Amino acid sequence: MKDTPLSNCERDFLLKAIEDKKRLDGRQTYDYRRIKITFGTDYGCCFVDLGKTRVMAQVSCELVAPKENRPNEGIMFFNIELSPMASPGFEQGRQSELSVKLNRQLERCLRNSKCIDTESLCVVSGEKVWQIRVDVHMLNHDGNLMDAASIAAITALCHFRRPDVSINGDEVTVYSPEERDPIPLSIYHMPISVSFSFFQQGTYLLVDPCEREERVMDGLLMIAMNKHREICSIQSSGGIMLLKEQVMRCSKIASVKVSEITELISKALENDRKARKAGEKCGFAESMPQERITALKTDETPVEMTDVTERANEIIQKAEPPLQTIPSLLVPAPGVGQVGQGLQNTWGLEEEEEEEEDDEDENSGEEQKEQTKMMEEEHDEKEESREGHVVQLSDSEEEEVVILHPETPNKTPKNAGSATHQKGATKSKRRQKK
């Protein structure tokens, strides 16, 4: 499918805006768009968002025979994929001019700058070396693909871990990540490309052009640099004449941008390392927003078990003895007997008592008999025997337990101490339900 053509009105407006030092998205001349670096669940997978431009890089490795003229060096392979998903103008499976240009630039930026120690990738000299393959996929195209691709590629390379190998005589063993921890690549420095676009034959300069700016620009200068201010590659395209001062100025701007981006990358790598170590959600899973349904779940509350006994005792001591309420609630109406355990005859009872029954079902049977006798002396002892239950139910404050698990209130052992109080709460809850 053809790309949308650029209308004359857009072109005129853009050029006029650039003359006025304005940009479409409100940036200043030397501003980058927001850069966001995220990682996939696997090692060596990295997503870079540069404004609306989105790029994914995936690093993989393979044991291959080395090149004949370099028997003890590993092989680096770079591949840029421009899929129609990024922009309708891109075609699948065909090497366009743009993709060749980007591929070449990425190779110059990362391979020719010798930022990766290829000799450490050698396993058996002349026979087996690691081939590191970097696939860069463009997911959305909104200008400045090169910068996004270079950031994604170098970050993915830093993030990547290759399997450990051992050589025993003629035997080469490749260990799975479960057997031995995979090894990171040795990277000397991080070259990052910074793009400058020129307008009106080099009169105006913009950093990080967006898609529409790229369409109206006259020339492009890409400088790849590392944070030690070493230029790794420099390329000018579009056929404009640049003055020496302009190139010098661009390289100065590039050095500032590169140090900022390098810091961002190392921070992202550090965050990811920490997250992985702590076993938290990392990578792609982290970037997925929580779904609403899981958000309704309540997490298990951790229970402090250290001084529960003392605290429970304290609460019991403080609590007022519930003298009147218990017998009146538990003794059925006069003349009503009880048959069996845990069952209560509710004939002629008020609704309140019914509810009580629900609440107390389990511990009603035996306790009722005890409580009808009503022994104040035993009171404390009984409480202590039930503390175990209290702790299991995740909190020693019964009121909260009742509110958290309204469906299973009958499991809540009744603390005679706060009984009056809490039963009121339960009752009101149940009323609402009905």
Site residues (vs other proteins, CB under 8 A): 1-2, 4-13, 16-17, 20, 22, 24-26
φ, ψ of residue 59 in degrees (nearest 5): -105, 140
DSSP 230-260: -EEEEEEESS----HHHHHHHHHHHHHHHHH
Q: Measured from the CB of residue 290, what is the shortest distance to other proteins in angstroms?
A: 19
- Write down the least CB distance from residue 22 to other proteins, Å: 6
Residue (6 or 285) nearer to other proteins, CB: 6
Contact 346, 360 (CB under 8 A): no
The whole-angstrom distance between residue 96's C-alpha and the CA centroid of its chain comes to: 35
How far is it, in rounded angstroms, from Cα 285 to Cα 159?
17
Task: Give the Å distances, CA to CA, from 359 to 200, 240, 329, 340, 402.
Answer: 83, 86, 12, 18, 10
Helix (H, G, I), strand (E, B) or coil at 338: coil
> 28: which residues sit within 8 A by CB, 6+ positions away?
21
The distance of closest approach from Cβ of residue 3 to other proteins in the complex, given in angstroms and rounded to an integer, is 9
Least distance CB 21 / other proteins (angstroms)? 10
User: Shortest approach of other proteins to residue 296 CB, angstroms?
Assistant: 18
Separation of alpha carbons 380 and 315, rounded Å: 11
Q: Cα–Cα distance between 401 and 393 in angstroms, integer?
A: 7
Residue type, 140: N
β-bridge partners, 53: 50
Residue with smaller CB distance to other proteins, 6 or 333: 6
Place of tokens 């870079």: 48
CA neighbor of 198 nearest in space, from 222, 220, 223, 213: 220
Q: Looking at beta carbons only, is 23 or 414 nearer to other proteins?
A: 23
* Least distance to other proteins, CB of residue 17, Å: 5
To other proteins, the closest distance from the beta carbon of 218 in angstroms equals 17
Q: What is the dihedral of CA 133, 139, 145, 146, to 10 degrees?
A: -10
| For other proteins, the closer CB: 7 or 294 | 7
Phi, psi of 38 (to 5 degrees): -130, 160
Report in angstroms how near the CB of residue 198 gets to other proteins at its nearest. Answer: 20
Cα separation, 224 vs 209, in Å, equals 16
Beta bridge partners of 426: none
- By C-beta, is 24 or 174 nearer to other proteins? 24
CB of 9 to other proteins, least distance (A): 6
Considering the complex, state which of residue 1 and residue 288 has its C-beta at the smaller distance from other proteins: 1
200 versus 408: smaller Cβ distance to other proteins: 200
Dihedral of the alpha carbons of 10, 1, 106, 228, in degrees to the nearest 10: 30
25 versus 384: smaller Cβ distance to other proteins: 25
Nearer to other proteins, 215 or 311 (CB): 215
